[in-house]
Amino acid sequence: MRIATWNVNSVGARLPRLLEWLESSGPDVICLQELKCSAEAFPSAEVKALGYESLVNGDGRWNGVAVLSRVGLADTVIGLPEGPAYDGGQESRAAAATCGGVRVWSVYVPNGREVGHPHYDYKLQWLEALRRTARHEVSGDLPFAILGDYNIAPTDEDVYDRSVFEGSTHVTEPERAALKALRQEGLSDVMPRALKYDHPYTYWDYRQLCFPKNRGMRIDLVYGNAPFAAAVKDSYVDREARKGKGASDHAPVVVDLDI
């Protein structure tokens, strides 16, 4: 089984690329983030033509997540249970489904904006709610993973230059401590360090030629429980999908499982 996660940075703007990638890469399940569309506006018919069912959590603003599956969608959940509200409501940042015997959550962790901003506190509260959710999901024999854009680089090795990010979000100790607490619920980072590139980043800013210069960050993560991690046979970042005009600023992360 092939499972992927991809922050598409607007599914409307990226639809031709998404459809092409689905056909060429053939994931059985893909978790999408930053849809920037409502659930009603999601291109369900277009992905259905390729054999995918859609579970969408979107409100038409800058967030939004989805799970696309060609191996079924069961026990679905829209939204993060007991997740915190921001600016008067709960944002569209989480969705879950069981697909072909694998339980997946697609998550788009809040950015945080800047240290000390209310959105930064909201980010930490959101991660705590995600940890509580993981505690209920992680036990048992069912392979389970939380995939998505975590907006956190787990270590200094996951950014091209730690000094550039000094004092910024994505690398602060409270954020990384929240990731550690999540892993301590029985999850592990299933992406091996030694992939096809010395630095398997997943995000590169559009500005200042960051992608050609490989000035990136690894913030799109796959955290799986023991049955999921044991089934992983390969994983990679599809840098080719980041190239060219009209690309998302994130690349897909792909995990192949032997199930």
- Polymer length of the chain: 259
Distant-in-sequence, close-in-space partners of 180: CB < 8 Å, separation ≥ 6: none
Residue, of 61 and 173, whose pLDDT is higher: 173
- In this predicted structure, the answer to whether residue 114 has a pLDDT above a threshold of 70 is yes
- Nearest residue to 195 (alpha-carbon basis) of 220, 172, 164, 177: 220
Check whether 149 is labelled as a binding-site residue: yes
Check whether 250 is labelled as a binding-site residue: yes
CA angle 155, 250, 81 (to 5 degrees): 75
**pTM given for the model:** 0.96
Check whether 151 is labelled as a binding-site residue: yes
Q: Which amino acid, 178?
A: A
> How far, rounded to the nearest angstrom, does the alpha carbon of residue 258 sit from its chain's CA centroid?
21
CA-CA-CA-CA torsion sign (169, 175, 179, 185)? negative
Q: Are 255 and 2 in contact (CB under 8 A)?
A: yes
pLDDT in tens, 40-64: 999 999 999 999 999 999 998 889 9
What's the number of domains the chain is made of? Answer: 1
Instruction: Determine which of 53-67, 148-162, 198-212 has the lowest per-residue pLDDT on average.
Output: 198-212
Point out the residues that are catalytic. 108, 149, 250
CATH number of 98's domain: 3.60.10.10
Domain hosting residue 127, numbered range: 2-257
Q: Are 241 and 21 in contact (CB under 8 A)?
A: yes
